[in-house]
Amino acid sequence: MSTSGMWGGRFKGSIQGMVLEYTESIEADRHFARQDIRCSKAHAAMLGRQQIITDQEAQSIISGLDAVEREIEDGSFSWSRDLEDVHMNIEHRLTEIVGPVGKKLHTGRSRNDQVATAFRLFVSERMQEWRRNLLRLIRVLGDKAEGHREVILPGYTHLQPAQPVSLAQHLLAYAQMFRRDVERIADCQDRVRVSPLGAAALAGTTYDLDPEYTAREIGFDRVFANSMDAVSDRDFVLEPLFAAGMIMTHLSRLCEELIIWANPNFGFVRLPDGFATGSSIMPQKKNPDVAELMRGKSGRVIGDLISLLTTMKALPLAYNRDLQEDKPGFLDADYTVSLSVAVMAEMIEATGFDEQRMYAAVRAGFLNATELADYLVGKGLPFRQAHHVTGRIVARAEEQNIGLEDMPLEQMQEHSPLIDDEVYAVLDYETAVARRESRGGTGPRAVSTQLQELRAWLDGQGDNGGGGSV
Ligand code: ARG
């Protein structure tokens, strides 16, 4: 059957191949055939319950849909571009299998509410996969942090060495970002898992439908409130796309760290062989390709969000065919984000850290300058003055190419008589880290608390990440 056949008598000629190619969405929406069938079964069951079709008719439609699903799963289903999209392909095959009763499935329904429902279900399921992968990544980051609580590296601001921090503290910062991503997903699931089925084309319907029943059957938590809104908004795609863009942004920042840390001038990490490549002409090179690609792919996912926002921004109510463009971007973002998170977990797990190089960078960067300033404040010097005196001592050490801790006491005293022998204990790097036990700080007890809280949160998320509210 051609598409014009589905629309009835108004369209005489067949649409030219070129236009068909331009308008089809089967390549994208066949990805959610299973979800479309699930929604159709719920709709058929509801039509039967409401006596809009007979129980027997509902039963034969439902078992016909099961048969279609089996064909799709075993690969014997033949998709036809002529039938434009997943909905018409499935309905067409259903009717071939069960006969004319198949044509009753679409009673009280339009493709407009149909596509919104099936796509919402698909988006929701895909976000659960992101969530599972994120939970694994957070676990890996937590374990790495646990094993590197004593390792010290420079903490940076403006990418300039600032103060020493523990490697655990640095890794746990990323764990917190990904934790918020998991929470963001849960929050937007609440708005995604709403059923538009029953809104029909745009205005509702004259049939006595039971949208609450269909929603429950599909597994959704709520039912739409306004039929025009239900069929035409796509914020249920945009919010997940934002969540995806945010996840990729967090990943990309971590990639950037790994790329910098893998540079021999830093030498903080040894990237596992499987996540780096050599150069064909420069034998000394080990390129952080995987991290670079992930950083690059983040741009595409952010683009998917901007692209759909732009598509949406001037659309009048209600359904417009522009909305079909919501799918390719989401599929792209979904594929990229799930795989990226999974790859990052493996990469972090396999990455080795060079504690010596990290410590050498700490020593080279005057990372105990703040300690000296605070010490002078402790001796009664106003902070601004203490900052100034410390700056001069740093300049002097720099001239001599030594660390503050290597400078003889007499030299320091030339800058301030307040300095005594106890200063060397204060200049110790481990001590500098250990003294920062404020809430969320880099001190060992503060880091232990962070780890405990993270683990407690992870435990509350269920073992495989499939737990939680949805
Ligand atoms: N393939 C369409 C989409 O993805 C399905 C809805 C078509 N509705 C319509 N009135 N032409 O949006």
Block means of pLDDT (10 residues each) for the chain, 470 residues, are 54 73 95 98 98 98 98 98 96 98 98 98 98 98 97 98 97 98 98 98 98 98 97 98 98 98 96 86 87 98 98 98 98 98 98 97 94 96 96 96 95 96 96 96 98 98 51
CATH number at residue 35: 1.10.275.10
Q: Are residue 396 and residue 339 in the same domain, yes or no?
A: no
Nearest to 317 by CA among 241, 237, 235, 227: 227
Residues marked active site are found at 158, 279
Of the candidates 360, 391, 413, which is a domain's last residue? 360
Q: Is residue 302 part of a domain?
A: yes
Alpha helices in 235-320 (DSSP H): 235-262, 289-312
Q: Are residue 51 and residue 121 in the same domain, yes or no?
A: no
Helix, strand, coil abundance in the chain, percent, nearest 5: 65, 5, 30
Q: Which of 27, 30, 111 to mutate to test the pocket of ligand 1 (most atoms within 8 A of CB)?
A: 111
Residue 87 and residue 111 in contact, taking contact as beta carbons nearer than 8 Å = yes
Q: Are residue 372 and residue 448 in the same domain, yes or no?
A: yes
Beta strands in 363-464 (DSSP E): none
Packing angle, helices 86-98 and 111-147, rounded to 10: 120
Q: Is residue 350 part of a domain?
A: yes
Q: Give how many domains the chain has, as a whole number.
A: 3
Residue 145 and residue 444 in contact, taking contact as beta carbons nearer than 8 Å = no
Of the candidates 344, 360, 376, which is a domain's last residue? 360
Three-state SS for 461?
coil
Q: Which residues line ligand 1 (CB under 6 A)?
A: 25, 29, 85, 111-112, 115, 319, 321, 323-324
Pairing of strands 160-166, 269-270: unpaired
Q: Is residue 159 part of a domain?
A: no
Take atom 12 of ligand 1 and give the residue whose Cα is closest: 324
Q: Is residue 203 part of a domain?
A: yes
Q: Is residue 464 part of a domain?
A: no
pTM: 0.93
Q: Is residue 432 part of a domain?
A: yes
Three-state SS for 406?
helix
CATH number at residue 173: 1.20.200.10
Q: Are residue 96 and residue 120 in the same domain, yes or no?
A: no
Q: Are residue 236 and residue 276 in the same domain, yes or no?
A: yes
Q: Are residue 39 and residue 129 in the same domain, yes or no?
A: no
The token pair that represents 126 in the structure block: 């895909």
Compute the distance from residue 87 Cα to the ligand 1 centre, in Å.
9
Q: Are residue 339 and residue 367 in the same domain, yes or no?
A: no
Compute the distance from residue 126 Cα to the ligand 1 centre, in Å.
21
Q: Is residue 467 part of a domain?
A: no
Q: Are residue 121 and residue 221 in the same domain, yes or no?
A: yes
Compute the distance from residue 128 Cα to the ligand 1 centre, in Å.
26
Q: Are residue 234 and residue 135 in the same domain, yes or no?
A: yes
Q: Are residue 328 and residue 410 in the same domain, yes or no?
A: no
What whole-number distance in Å separates Cα of residue 132 and Cα of residue 174? 17
| pLDDT at 463 (0 to 100) | 56
Q: Are residue 21 and residue 119 in the same domain, yes or no?
A: no
What whole-number distance in Å separates Cα of residue 250 and Cα of residue 95? 48
Which atom of ligand 1 lies nearest, measured to the CA of 323?
Answer: 12
Q: Is residue 94 part of a domain?
A: yes
Take atom 7 of ligand 1 and give the residue whose Cα is closest: 111
Residue 337: what residue type? Answer: V
| Residue 138 host element (H or E) | helix 111-147
Distances (CA, A) of 202 to 66, 154, 397: 29, 59, 75
Of the candidates 360, 394, 424, which is a domain's last residue? 360
Q: Are residue 127 and residue 177 in the same domain, yes or no?
A: yes
Q: Which of 23, 324, 330 to mutate to test the pocket of ligand 1 (most atoms within 8 A of CB)?
A: 324
Q: Which of 81, 321, 322 to mutate to test the pocket of ligand 1 (most atoms within 8 A of CB)?
A: 321
Compute the distance from residue 328 Cα to the ligand 1 centre, in Å.
14
Three-state SS for 392?
helix
Compute the distance from residue 317 Cα to the ligand 1 centre, in Å.
14
Three-state SS for 33?
helix
Question: Other CB atoms closer than 10 Å to residue 416's CB: what's the count?
Answer: 20
Domain extent at residue 226 = 112-149+167-360
